[in-house]
Amino acid sequence: MLERLKRLRERLEHEKPVINKLEYKDIPANTEANKIIAELSYKTQEEKIEKYATWDDEHETRLMELRKKVTEADINDPIKQAKKDS
């Protein structure tokens, strides 16, 4: 009987699906977003998830700063300026 249980256990272990981590190729590895995703698991506390999911004034300010930088970079793009001058 014990031998049957051992074989059954081995078979079940062999059939058990392997869970692969999800890959987000569109999120660069060296970003805060990638770090957050890498830390998420079924053990992640709800408070931590809420913290990540909350959009506050600091985020809004940072978004405005980044949009301004993108606009400035776009305006000062030498390729676009050369096309305008042509």
Query: What CA–CA distance (Å, rounded) separates 41 from 55?
Result: 21
Q: Is the dihedral of CA 37, 42, 47, 50 positive or negative?
A: positive
Query: What CA–CA distance (Å, rounded) separates 68 from 76?
Result: 12
Residue 3, φ and ψ in degrees, nearest 5 = -65, -40
DSSP character for 54?
Answer: -
For 19-63, what is each residue's pLDDT tens digit?
787 788 899 989 999 999 988 888 999 999 998 889 999 999 999
In the prediction, which pLDDT does 22 show?
76
Angle 19-43-41 (CA atoms, 0-180°, nearest 5)? 40
Structure tokens at 4: 């049957």
pLDDT band at 10 (very low <50, low <70, confident <90, very high): very high
Decide: pTM greater than 0.75.
Answer: no
Query: CB of 33 within 8 A of CB of 27?
Result: yes
